[in-house]
Amino acid sequence: MKVGVSLTSAHTVDDPRAGARWMIERAAAARKADLDSLFVGDHHATPGKYYQNVPMLGRLLAEWSDKPAGCLFLLPLWNPVLIAEQVGTLAAIMRGRFIFQCGLGDDDAQFRAMGAQLKSRVAAFEESLSALRRLFAGETVTASGLFSFDSARVALKPAEPVDVWIGATAPPAIDRAARLGDAWLGSPGLTFTGAREKIGYYRDRCKAHGRTPGVIAIRRDVYVGESEAEAKATLEAAVAKGYRGFDPKALVAGTVAQVTERFRELGAMGFTDVIVRHLTTDHAKVLGSFARLGEVRRNLS
């Protein structure tokens, strides 16, 4: 099983440079821990400080290794040609392979701020992904649907094929991932029981579409503690604040041995990759957890 990280992009700081510095230090910690992949997310018009994916990843790649890295893109919110240009540039900066994570997105305020419509997001997602696959391949593309452009071509295309990971939770979205994606990325809000049910459904839909599952990834919000007691206290503090509205059963906190065992459970279900986000906002704790997460990864090798 591979262990990657999706860095938190939202930070409550007075000086916006502090949040950026934390992300840079965390990317360096992920490299030192020898993690398998590095990602950042995508959100827009947020009430708090949120560091945007493309410029942030460009900076983080200076701290990263030659292992895969990538961004999440909420496709209905972006012009596909712009995405293709941004991915082509990022893929040229990095030494490893670019992984393209994508999803529908939600939050009507976010859609309105970006000039998009929530009600047409499924059609926009499929149109965009179809165009992007052709643009990544260097083709000339014309579109006249929800996105309209004429004879677009991106000469700076990725040197290696781009893997498309589709984030999905609802059954129709998981079916879409099986039909259109190279991988399914399970939600961090899924409990372990829910994850077992969803991966079974994904495999069934892959079979129905005549496709063989490759990478099957899942996001987990995690803290690897100095001790069982310290990990429990950190988890309880997060849950007491209503951590992201998640069922606490979806969260993973414990010692190196305990977190290793929880990840092994996911491996036994059929997940190939666990993409970690730290469930604490304490920067010192996050850096310590990264070091111990490296031990978890080695235990799983």
The HSE-up count of residue 51 (CA atoms within 13 Å, CB side) is 26
Q: Which residues are CB-contacts of 189 (< 8 A; sequence separation ≥ 6)? A: 169, 244, 245, 246, 247, 250
Which own/partner contact pairs does 147-154 have at CB distance under 8 Å and 24+ positions apart?
A: 147/79, 147/80, 149/79, 149/80, 149/81, 152/81, 154/81, 154/84, 154/85, 154/88
Domains annotated for the chain, with CATH where assigned, are 2-215+271-278 (3.20.20.30)
- pLDDT tens digits along 1-50: 999 999 999 999 999 999 999 999 999 999 999 999 999 999 999 999 99
pLDDT of residue 158: 96
Do the strands 141-144 and 163-167 form a parallel or antiparallel pair, or are they unpaired? unpaired
pLDDT of residue 266: 98
CB-CB contact of 150 with 142 (8 Å): yes
Secondary structure of 243-272 as H, E, C letters:
HHHCCHHHCEEECHHHHHHHHHHHHHHCCC
- pLDDT tens digits along 149-172: 999 999 999 999 999 999 999 999
DSSP per-residue codes, the chain: -EEEEEE--B---SSHHHHHHHHHHHHHHHHHTT-S-EEE----S-SS-B--HHHHHHHHTTT--SS-EEEEEEGGGS-HHHHHHHHHHHHHH-SS-EEEEEE----HHHHHHTT--GGGHHHHHHHHHHHHHHHHTT--EEEESSSEEEEE--SS--SSPPEEEEE--SHHHHHHHHHH-SEEEE-TT--HHHHHHHHHHHHHHHHHTT----EEEEEEEEEE-SSHHHHHHHHHHHHHTTGGG--GGG-EEE-HHHHHHHHHHHHHHT--EEEEEES---HHHHHHHHHHHHHHHHHH-
**Token reading at 157:** 């295309």
**Residue whose tokens read 């939202």:** 10
pLDDT tens, the chain, 301 aa long? 999 999 999 999 999 999 999 999 999 999 999 999 999 999 999 999 999 999 999 999 999 999 999 999 999 999 999 999 999 999 999 999 999 999 999 999 999 999 999 999 999 999 999 999 999 999 999 999 999 999 999 999 999 999 999 999 999 999 999 999 999 999 999 999 999 999 999 999 999 999 999 999 999 999 999 999 999 999 999 999 999 999 999 999 999 999 999 999 999 999 999 999 999 999 999 999 999 999 999 999 8
pTM of this prediction? 0.96
